[in-house]
Amino acid sequence: MSPLSTDTIQALSHVHAKPDNIRFQYGTAGFRTLGNILDSVLFRTGILAGLRSKKLDGQTIGVMVTASHNPEADNGVKLVDPYGEMLEASWEIYATKLANAPDLISALEDVIRDADIDLSKPSHVVYARDTRPSGPALVAALEDGLKVLNVDARDAGVTTTPILHYLVRAINTKGTKNSYGEDSEQGYFEKMTNAFKKLVAGRPPRDSLLIDCANGVGAKAAVELSEYLGDSLPITLENTDTTTPGVLNNMCGADFVKTTQKLPPSLANKLKPGQRGCSLDGDADRLMYFYLDERGQFRMLDGDKIATLVGSFIGELVKSAGLEDKIKVGSVQTAYANGASTKYLSERLPVRCVSTGVKHLHHAAENFDVGVYFEANGHGTVLFSPATTDRLREYQPSTPAQQTALEHLINLTLLINQAVGDALSDMLLVEVVLAHKNYTGIEWDSLYSDLPNRLVKVVVADRNAFQTEDAERRLVRPEGLQARIEELAHRYEGGRSFVRPSGTEDVVRVYAEAVIRTQADELAFRVAGLVYDTAGGDPARRPKEFL
Ligand code: 16G
Ligand code: MG
């Protein structure tokens, strides 16, 4: 085992000094905070990525520098494991430990010992960043970290989070039976658009889809995508300004649409009634669809609507292919899924509920032959198990109709980015289903009606006092609070409410839904009031809307 080059580490960790009095935490989305305090974190994450690769025998690890839908001044970093999945949970602890260590060398020695890492192993890392202004300096700090272990590193430049995940998987599966595609952006776009073109071949031409790129890195990718798509899908790109300071995610993008349930003002005179529009988030891994109805009212088609559309379509194809006894299609949601979507899906497919965060959904989806997972906020994808992919490849259909359905399924495995939720790939997937069903947004929307719902944030003294069970649907702490929430929810028709501590902000989140809009709001604010009072909030500063 070759020793650590402690002199280099000392010198560089001096250059990338850790700020005092700040505690960093590797959470559900990696490290994420103000970009201008992340320098030391990026340096240390570079070293960690090298260690992770050595631990996995030199397989390539991904590093993505992004803060997704957060404000432009924020930034963040997360590691990607060899098949394009999120970093294994046990390593999140190492990440946090290294980021906060006053003595980096001894912390590194602890991690190396604890994880039993052989430093003589090779290490490979591929990294990318979004369009944030703090990105280049943070990447330079990351590169210094990579130098410490002489990592063989590849700079994938400015690109989307899902493309980085794709590259990681493509690099690690190159030349194997599970080869995922060419390890280049060109490979990504060709794979996806070739499958798309086959899937929509012979369907009537579609009217133009308007894409809100959130003034982020999705704009760059969408411009390239449109070239590969040619006339197979007419698209119009909006909010593509990646250079004017302050515009990223500002009053636009998937998070704005989901949280405000409004059309980004910049699209007001651009989206025609009935036309399909969609928003990407700042790193293009979340997708929201929408349209304006005949009265000009904004209608949102969120992750739940996507899950129901896609889940039932794939279920139908499996049946048409004559494979329903061999391939089980299932779906995974979180407690935030609208009750109406859960009902719609459950009547067609098995549905599981798991805790918030992509990694929980992804792992649960792996337990199905075909697992369709989406969070209401627009994160999601579809996973085909390796055995299912083989089965599709080997299956001998007995009728032309079965043959056609089989070909569609195989093309879906190529269209869908199975490494991670991908706004552009999900968007093409939605477009395929709409083309096959000959649906506009209106018809898609009419499959079921969302229950009115409300999400409220409550600032409390200590959000760790809130502990949940049953996929976050029930509180176990503070004691007694759950019973009071249920008692309130029972007073409203279709009432459902749950409370969980946020994993990304220092707040507690309250969700409520009910059959009637005003009741959903009232329930949410009552539960929020209950949370506020129970968690020891100052009654004098109790928000007025908490009834
Ligand atoms: C992160 C998660 C997202 C989740 C959100 C919840 C990933 C890549 N992202 O953004 O899936 O919905 O956190 O945030 O896992 P919250 O804990 O603050 O409600
Ligand atoms: Mg994102």
- pLDDT tens, position by position, for the chain (547 residues)? 457 888 999 999 999 999 999 999 998 889 999 999 999 999 999 999 999 999 999 999 999 999 999 999 999 999 999 999 999 999 999 999 999 999 999 999 999 999 999 999 999 999 999 999 999 999 999 999 999 999 999 999 999 999 999 999 999 999 998 899 999 999 999 999 999 999 999 999 889 999 999 999 999 999 999 999 999 999 999 999 999 999 999 999 999 999 999 999 999 999 999 999 999 999 999 999 999 999 999 999 999 999 999 999 999 999 999 999 999 999 999 999 999 999 999 999 999 999 999 889 999 999 999 999 999 999 999 999 999 999 999 999 999 999 999 999 999 999 999 999 999 999 999 999 999 999 999 999 999 999 999 999 999 989 999 999 999 999 999 999 999 999 999 999 999 999 999 988 889 999 999 999 999 999 999 999 999 999 877 777 788 777 7
pTM above 0.85, yes or no: yes
DSSP string, 201-254: TTSPPPPPEEEE-TTSHHHHHHHHHHHHHGGGS-EEEE----SSTT-TTTT-HH
| Topology at the third CATH level for domain 186-299 | Alpha-D-Glucose-1,6-Bisphosphate; Chain A, domain 3 (3.40.120)
Predicted pLDDT of residue 171: 98
Contact 269, 246 (CB under 8 A): no
Residue corresponding to tokens 């994880």: 115
Predicted pLDDT of residue 2: 56
User: Does CATH number 1.20.1260.10 belong to domain 453-546?
Assistant: no
Continuous segment of H or E residues that includes residue 403: helix 400-415
Contacts of 539 (CB under 8 A, 6+ apart): 533
Predicted pLDDT of residue 537: 74
Give the C-alpha separation, 276 to 101, whole Å. Answer: 49
Q: Sheet harboring 298-301: ordered strands across?
A: 235-238, 209-212, 277-280, 287-292, 298-301
Over the Cα atoms of the chain, what is R_g? 24
Cis bond upstream, residue 478 (ω within 30) = yes
Residue corresponding to tokens 């048409």: 320
Relative to the CA of 68, which ligand 1 atom is closest? Answer: 10
Catalytic site positions? 68
How far is CA 529 from its chain centroid? 30
Do strands 380-384 and 467-469 pair parallel, antiparallel, or not at all (unpaired)? unpaired
Contact 381, 416 (CB under 8 A): yes
Q: Is 28 in the pocket of ligand 1 (CB under 6 A)?
A: yes
Both tokens of residue 468? 């949940």
Ligand nearest to C-alpha 282 = 2
Binding residues: 68, 281, 283, 285, 375-377, 500-504, 509
Q: Which CATH number applies to 303-445?
A: 3.40.120
Q: Is 507 in the pocket of ligand 1 (CB under 6 A)?
A: no
Give the C-alpha separation, 269 to 287, whole Å. Answer: 21
Contact 291, 441 (CB under 8 A): yes
How far is CA 312 from its chain centroid? 21
Give the C-alpha separation, 135 to 161, whole Å. Answer: 14
Predicted pLDDT of residue 1: 46
Do strands 329-334 and 31-34 pair parallel, antiparallel, or not at all (unpaired)? unpaired
Predicted pLDDT of residue 205: 86
Do strands 124-129 and 60-65 pair parallel, antiparallel, or not at all (unpaired)? parallel
| Centre of ligand 1 from the C-alpha of residue 182, in Å | 30
Backbone angle region of 175, left / alpha / beta, with phi > 0 → left and psi within -120 to 50 → alpha = left
Contact 515, 493 (CB under 8 A): yes
Q: Is 502 in the pocket of ligand 1 (CB under 6 A)?
A: yes
| Centre of ligand 2 from the C-alpha of residue 253, in Å | 10
Contacts of 186 (CB under 8 A, 6+ apart): none
Across the chain, what does the average pLDDT equal?
96
Q: Is 357 in the pocket of ligand 1 (CB under 6 A)?
A: yes
Give the C-alpha separation, 509 to 495, whole Å. Answer: 17
Ligand nearest to C-alpha 381 = 1
Give the C-alpha separation, 306 to 209, whole Å. Answer: 16
3-class secondary structure per residue, 452-519 = CEEEEEECCCCHHHCEEECCCCEEEECCCHHHHHHHHHCCCCCCEEEEEECCCCCCEEEEEECCCHHH
Superfamily of domain 6-158 in the CATH hierarchy: Alpha-D-Glucose-1,6-Bisphosphate, subunit A, domain 3 (3.40.120.10)
Both tokens of residue 241? 């300004």
Predicted pLDDT of residue 371: 98
| Centre of ligand 2 from the C-alpha of residue 531, in Å | 29
Q: How far is CA 369 from CA 160, 307, 316, 342, in A?
A: 28, 16, 15, 20
Contact 135, 105 (CB under 8 A): no
DSSP 8-state secondary structure symbol assigned to residue 157: E
Burial 20-54 (b: 16+ CB within 10 A, else e): eeeebebbbbbbbbebeebbbbbbbbbbbbbbbbb
In the chain, list all ranges with CATH 3.40.120.10: 6-158, 186-299
| Centre of ligand 1 from the C-alpha of residue 361, in Å | 11
Ligand nearest to C-alpha 501 = 1
